[in-house]
Structure formats: C-alpha cells, structure tokens
Chain A
C-alpha cells in the first residue's frame, strides 16, 4: 500500500537555523513526491516536486529536498530559517501522476527569534 509518513508533527527552530522536515514514503511504483506549505487560513501551495529528473530538487523560498530511494525518503531542508517560514508543511505522494495525491499528516514549523 502506498503511504506517506512525516516524522514529527511539530518542529521548532531558531531564526537562522537549519530547517529539516522529514518525510518517508512507501510506494510499489516509482513515486512522484511533493512538498506543500500551508499558511494559516490559506490553501496549500506547492514548494517543490520530484518527478525522477533529478534527486536534489530546489523549490521556492530557498527550500530543497533530496530523493533517496534506498531510504525511501524525501526530506525537506532550508539552510537558514526565517520567521516567515512558520507554517504547516505537507509531504505528498502521487500515485501514477499528480492526481491522486496521498498526503502526510503534516509538520507544523515554528520559528522563534
């Protein structure tokens, strides 16, 4: 069965510190993987996507993620956190495309001064 697991429902970092949000997946077919961000009272916005072209994917707002097949992981990182990064982040798995997305439970990122 296909699934997405996000480790850590809450992550707190200091401004300027490294951000690392973890995502592991299970898929019987080559996966499409996504990271979305949700700011309070807003819809989800795509940060980046992996579609097998390159294992290191760069997204918006300085975020990037690395696909590691051996570890079935797609962790999201940002070298230096900014206060505006505080939001909820969702990892998602596409089943044969972008349509039937399976979302992880989400990780709420807090950034403190």
Chain B
C-alpha cells in the first residue's frame, strides 16, 4: 500500500528555536497534504490543508505565521514550527491524498513527537 513518511520521528528542542518536520509520499503523488496535531488521549485536530504550489489553508485558531507550511512538490510538504514554546509540544501527523486513487483515499504518516523544553 501507499506509504507516507515523516522525518524526524521525534525531536526535542529548546524554547524559542524553530523545528522543521518533513512529510513525504513515497510511492505516489499527492496534490493535497494535511497537517494534524494530537495531544495525549485526544483526537487528531486538523491544522492546515496544503496544496502543491499554493498557499496552505489554515484552520481557525491556527497561527499561520507560527506554523509555516510549504508544499513545494507533489511528494513533499514541510511544517516549520517557529519560535517553539512548551505548549507546542505535541504529536504532529501528516496525511496525503493520492492523486491517482479514489478521492476518499488518504494515507497517514507515522507522526513526529515534538518536545519543547
């Protein structure tokens, strides 16, 4: 089946630094990628929808200047958490919609655990 990878799988950083998370579709092209955040024992919350070659669409309450999203190619989207603070510590998950498959098809990455000290 289709595979979505994320890198890094976990990262620990100091408060005030920026962290970049990569999301790649390994064997398919994805015009649309999604970024989610999940707090412990909570459901996934959509942060933004990223379309290749255009600006991301952010959900209400998500600061676009803090969570920078770049979707430069059909197989790569990046999420940069700028000036990270401890409250940004969370599990970040991306997903990708397969361009060539049924519109319902959406594959999730393994997630990135961010800890801000």
> Are the chains A and B members of one assembly?
no
Interface residues of A (CB under 8 A from B): none
